[in-house]
Structure 1
Amino acid sequence: MKLTVHLPEHNYDILIEKGALNHLGAWVASLWQQQKICIITDETVNQLYGDLVLQQLQAAGFDAVLFAVTPGEKSKSLPVASQLFDFLAEKEFTRTDGILALGGGVVGDLAGFVAATYMRGLHYLQVPTTLLAQVDSSIGGKTAVNTEKAKNLVGAFWQPEGVLIDSLTLQTLEPRRIREGIAEIIKSAAIADKVLWTQLDKLENEQELVERAEEIITACLKIKRAVVEEDVLDNGNRLLLNFGHTIGHAIEATAGYGVVTHGEGVAIGMSQITRIAEEKGLTAVGTTELLNQMITKFGLPIWHKPWQKETLYHAITHDKKTRGSAIKLILLEKIGQAKIETVATETVKEFLTIEE
């Protein structure tokens, strides 16, 4: 399966195919001229696929090197980005060379940020190996690193020149990482695709979902592609993709990166914001129950302890979606349909109220 993302000044293809890693060299050669390529990955993915990808690129005639970071959100930081800048400089990378992101969302965001900023921009490719990255973060051009204040606070929009998705990589993921990606799949269905929601509803567990991975990944990418093509820089309807993320990012940051995964934070955020929205009459009655049933069926949480309202609120005020004294929240009108609600920043506290 091949999808094309059409942007005003830049189009790129997404290849979705089982076993695609085995001809990655030919794929890259079809997109790029001979040059230096830095594979940015993490230590876990490197052990699984590093040699294969390196050999593929070298066999295709590329001068390829590899840089592996420590797995986890802590590597998505300015200090690690600085290490990569130094590595690229030592290897004499220039603006005619490229970066290949091999890994999950952390690696993709970090590699994209480095590609966007080193020498004011190198071209790069995304090869996502986790379900989360395959259904969401590998396309759309958002790149970022975290700071102590907030998640994804420093970043740039920088589009890849191609995305290669091999669903066989999901077979090496631990269950928690599979569930992390399922949270984004649930989000996609909840905001924009009642048909996908119905498909998910018929599945018994995450194993059944993985068996139908290519079909479900493609459905999610079509949703994201449509939104990204309409709103490249995240100022309009692309914000809909952030359903659950405002609270979710705050939970991730305050719990300590890695304690709560991105997908777990999003699941909790979706549940919490929908419950309050339904109480306020902003969401159809019964939506929270349907959402919670779907989230818990796939082993994801709808709650987090300790729930520190003021701490979460402080983290949210540093969120990128905050505009002066207002913030844009993403709410469900009903399953399959979402809306953007602009509220006073202080009002966000109402969405952090817990059930007594």
Structure 2
Amino acid sequence: MNNLPTENNDLTQSIAQIIEQARKQVKQTVNSAMVQCYWDIGRLLVEDEQQGQQRAEYGKYVLQNLSERLTTMYGKGFDISNLRNMRQFYLAFPIRDTLCRELSWSHYRRLIRVEDPSARQWYLQETIEQNWSVRALDRQISVLYYERLLASQNKSVVAQEAEEKTEVLKETVQDYLRDPYILDFLNLQDKTYQESNVEQAIINNLQQFLLELGKGFAFVERQKRIRFGDEDFYIDLVFYNFKLKCFLLIDLKIGKLKHQDIGQMDTYVRLYDEQFKGEDDNPTIGLVLCSEKSEAIAKYSVLADRKQIFSAKYLPYLPTELQLQQQIEKVRALNNV
């Protein structure tokens, strides 16, 4: 079998590609039909409930009876919990045309648990654009991606979002940065770790870090050397964002943010623009990623201008939702939102 002529191998590969494509199309068709089916079931449940004037016993009696009958007829998949999910699915997405055929029922089942309609719509759009798996979507919701993004934005953008609830956030630099960053996947359990340990852990978990970093980012280089006069400087991490069309420089810091950290990053950005930025690239962005921020430095430094230099806190562990919400509120207060 391993000695087949090259043309036969090529033919086998071509046929295999056709089969795989056909299987993928069948899977998408089945998935789309399932999502549409569950949406229609949810619609019927809501309409029947409304006709009964939202009877309190509806969920106890009707759904139990319906679940038993459907399970007898079609097997698993129609227990009370799933029927309630279908009902909630219709309530969360009452317009059929807004459904995306590329998303699975598992995607929608996670989305309907997002209470805020604006956040739910944003997660839906991002899942489609970024091709998030169910696992990726679940993580982004769990770490309050949307809320952190809003907290990182300036007052005018947040105000606009509040006024236009269903509008997707405008794509500015702030849309691509967040605060804090959750780096629990780096497994930095030892409190004595150094900046070099954080950098190496990021490289070892680059795919997950890119997901946490946000949309449109690609890794470029670590310990990028830039020269100024007779001195060499080394930038911890360099990324490029294809949507913003600019480089992102990241400097990792252990401990509290200092004035010299901001000054150093400002120097890095200026030198990088001078030496590496292409004619079609937008100005480089600098991000100081630290384990502890300083409100005074954020207020009385170039960070207050929020143009090209930013700082953000990273958490080496997955906080509780309450702890994360408190972090977000601190960022909002710092930004006078």
> TM-score under structure 1 normalisation?
0.28
Structure number with larger C-alpha Rg = 2
Normalised to the residue count of structure 2, the TM-score between the two structures is 0.30
